[in-house]
Amino acid sequence: MNILLIGYGKMGKTIESLAVKKGHRIAGIIDIHNQEEIKHIEADVAIEFSRPEAAYENVKRCIERKLPVVCGTTGWLEQKKEIEALCEQQQGTFFYASNFSVGVNIFFKVNAHLAKLMNGFPGYNVIVDEIHHTQKKDAPSGTAITIAEDILKNLQRKNSWINKSEENDEQLSIVSHRIDPAPGTHSVKYTSVIDDIEIKHTAHTREGFALGAIEVATWIVQEKKQGLLNMDDFLKL
């Protein structure tokens, strides 16, 4: 498989290393200095882990040239609907996930189910806590936002999230910490005067995220997948 790698930070370099070990070829690497080359490098699929301010244009260029794109950049999702509309118009392939780890996506399902259970117990308040390394550009993390949105869908007493300690009972607080060298820890805690209930996912390395992105890209190419796709489609959870 020939991969166009877009973004060459910590994740990009990890994806490159693992992809080569698995026998794939890096057809080209796009970084801040050569973004226009996306239009010209031949590849089977693009894997995009860049920066929030660059992701929209990177993905747009891939879709416009009918290059399937797997995107894991967070912090730009206010423009995601435009990309989805373009993908449908161009009959392209766009796979987005806030997190490519299998464990995290299982955690998402557990979190949503727990929120549904806790909807009937108003004596418990809930908070989302996330820890990442200091070089992470966005806060809260895309993973934390996915966790929060799944809680909001299932817990009627919360109607919005806020990235600090809550100011009223209807807000869901996401507390973000930036501590090196943490690759990513996310927890959801329900507290009452009687007891606490907590679920947590702790990543030990970035390799789980990178490997997941490579496996998704392989699936798209081998199965000739088209359209708007996500981890539910891939994992069939």
Lowest mean pLDDT among 125-129, 152-156, 166-170: 166-170
> Crossing angle for the helix pair 102-118 and 207-223, nearest 10 degrees?
100
Verify whether residue 132 is a known catalytic residue. yes
Confidence (pLDDT) at 138: 76
| C-alpha span between 101 and 84 (Å, rounded) | 23
Look at 17-21, 34-38, 166-170, 204-208 and tell me which has the smallest mean pLDDT.
Answer: 166-170
pLDDT tens profile 13-67: 999 999 999 999 999 999 988 988 998 999 999 999 999 999 999 999 999 999 9
- Mean confidence (pLDDT) of the chain: 93
pLDDT greater at residue 25 or residue 137: 25
Asked if the bond preceding 122 is cis, omega within 30° of 0, the reply is no
- 165 pLDDT higher than 80: no
Residue ranges of alpha helices (H) inside the chain are 10-21, 52-64, 80-90, 102-118, 142-154, 207-223, 231-235
- For residues 182-200, average pLDDT: 95
Q: Are 34 and 55 a contacting pair, CB within 8 Å?
A: no
Q: How confident is the model at residue 109 (pLDDT cuts 50, 70, 90)?
A: very high
Taking the model in full, what pTM does it have?
Answer: 0.82
Of the listed 24, 33, 81, 132, which one is catalytic? 132
Catalytic residue among 136, 158, 186, 201: 136
> In order of start, what are the domains of the chain with their CATH numbers?
2-100+207-235 (3.40.50.720), 102-202 (3.30.360.10)
The reply to whether 136 belongs to the active site is yes
**Has residue 75 got a pLDDT over 90?**
no
**How many residues are there in the chain?**
237
